[in-house]
Amino acid sequence: MKHRKAIAAWLFIVGLMIFAMIVLGGVTRLTHSGLSMVDWRPVTGWLPPLDAAEWERVFAGYREYPEYKKLNLGMTLEEFKSIFWFEYTHRLLGRLIGAAFVVPMAVFWLKGWVGWRLGLKLIGLFVLGGLQGALGWYMVKSGLISRPDVSQYRLAAHLGLALVILGAMAWVGLGILSPERSAAAPERVPGRGPARGPKRLRRWAWGLTALIFVTALTGAFVAGLDAGFVYNTFPLMDGAWVPGGLFELAPGYRNFFENTATVQFNHRILAIAAFGAVMVFWWRARRAGLAPGQRLALNVLAAVAAVQVALGIATLLLVVPVPLAALHQAGAVALFLAAVWLAHELRPGGA
């Protein structure tokens, strides 16, 4: 059992690092720092520039690309350093996460603590992590061609894969701690009628997880198009419940990904729907005779959802201040993890 706790603790620590990585990535985006490093050296790029000549070389490379020429023409070296450090720290943290995952995994494997089933899961997480690094560079490359901004499609894919990795890591860690836990049997709560069965609750939990995931992806499109800097009122947009110009692009599907009004409108609608669904589920599931762990996960999910909606509205009304926007992104990740936790608590057997 001690070995299991050690492995689970390791996964949760790496998960916290990934959480920090996602939030730092959001800050990098918000400060327009993500295109300050114009090359990708996954093995040799651990060290930053160490002397004046190296700083001049890196800055000269940056000046060859569209962000400098179109947005930051005349930027000084000191100003460049202020954005460089955000992206450098983001990439360095990614490398540290890789090391923090691979080295302990090798040690645990050599000690014989990892069985074949867990081993396959860990290999899967390792492969996804490698793909995430490559996807991050693929995203950055989209801003080094002509438009000094990364593709919102690649940004959403990068965030989506990060959430998948984090959710899978949390699921594996929770499964190690409670491999035999099962969902509570349906009970009849006195004075409240029959409880809803675990199977129905599990479907709800997975549906909520999917809805929260999709809502987070629409948030990535909002960030990618800087759509949070327009229509900074709530609940109305441009004085109307449904603003004009939602389908001005052709073909029509492009509006959901490239039209700032439509992208923000969709994110609002999905966020409100997710919050409403969480509250309805919380209200109804309380009657289901949940086990203590399940009830705790349910209450945490509802609390995080309420905080996240408040953060989202405040971020919009205050025109996306960096600290508040970073908290909103952190809230999205926390909400997704709370949904994963609840789904795990309601699972029928060992993971």
pTM reported for the whole predicted model: 0.91
Residue 114 has pLDDT above 50, yes or no: yes
Question: What does the alpha-carbon distance between residue 139 and residue 133 come to, in Å, rounded to a whole number?
Answer: 10
Among candidates 1, 231, 6, 186, which has minimal Cα distance to 104?
6
Residue 343 has pLDDT above 50, yes or no: yes
Residue 189 φ then ψ, to 5°: -85, 125
Among candidates 50, 129, 55, 42, which has minimal Cα distance to 91?
42
Considering the domain architecture, whether residues 170 and 196 belong to the same structural domain is answered as no
Looking at residue 327, its pLDDT comes to 97
Q: Which of 128, 162, 177 is the last residue of a domain?
A: 177
Q: Centre a 10 Å sphere on the Cβ of residue 304 and count the other Cβ atoms it contains.
A: 21
Considering the domain architecture, whether residues 199 and 226 belong to the same structural domain is answered as yes
Residue 198 φ then ψ, to 5°: -55, -35
Considering the domain architecture, whether residues 8 and 146 belong to the same structural domain is answered as yes
**How much is the average pLDDT of 192-212?**
78
Predicted confidence band at 197 (pLDDT cuts at 50, 70, 90)? Answer: low
- The domain in which residue 20 lies consists of 1-177
**How much is the average pLDDT of 213-217?**
98
Considering the domain architecture, whether residues 152 and 20 belong to the same structural domain is answered as yes
Predicted confidence band at 1 (pLDDT cuts at 50, 70, 90)? Answer: low
Number of residues that this document lists for the chain = 351
Q: Which of the 8 DSSP states describes residue 28?
A: H
Tokens of 180: 């035999």
Question: What does the alpha-carbon distance between residue 225 and residue 147 come to, in Å, rounded to a whole number?
Answer: 12
Considering the domain architecture, whether residues 172 and 188 belong to the same structural domain is answered as no
Question: What does the alpha-carbon distance between residue 54 and residue 57 come to, in Å, rounded to a whole number?
Answer: 5
> How much of the chain, in percent, has pLDDT values that exceed 90?
81
Which region among 143-147, 151-155, 186-190 has the lowest average model confidence (pLDDT)? 186-190
Q: For residue range 276-288, what is the model confidence (pLDDT) as tens digits?
A: 999 999 999 988 8
Looking at residue 185, its pLDDT comes to 43
Among candidates 84, 71, 92, which has minimal Cα distance to 21?
92
Which region among 41-55, 59-73, 235-249 has the lowest average model confidence (pLDDT)? 41-55
Q: Which of the 8 DSSP states describes residue 237?
A: B
The one-letter amino acid code at 297 reads A
> How much of the chain, in percent, has pLDDT values that exceed 70?
93
Considering the domain architecture, whether residues 172 and 185 belong to the same structural domain is answered as no
Considering the domain architecture, whether residues 277 and 340 belong to the same structural domain is answered as yes
Considering the domain architecture, whether residues 135 and 220 belong to the same structural domain is answered as no
Predicted confidence band at 43 (pLDDT cuts at 50, 70, 90)? Answer: confident
Residue 176 has pLDDT above 80, yes or no: yes
Considering the domain architecture, whether residues 337 and 189 belong to the same structural domain is answered as yes
Considering the domain architecture, whether residues 77 and 189 belong to the same structural domain is answered as no
Considering the domain architecture, whether residues 123 and 227 belong to the same structural domain is answered as no
Tokens of 268: 């609002």
Strands of the chain, DSSP E: 188-189, 193-194
Q: Which of 177, 198, 232 is the last residue of a domain?
A: 177
DSSP 3-state assignment of 188?
strand
Number of domains in the chain: 2
**How much is the average pLDDT of 294-299?**
95
Considering the domain architecture, whether residues 96 and 197 belong to the same structural domain is answered as no
Q: Which of 162, 177, 192 is the last residue of a domain?
A: 177
Residue 195 has pLDDT above 60, yes or no: no
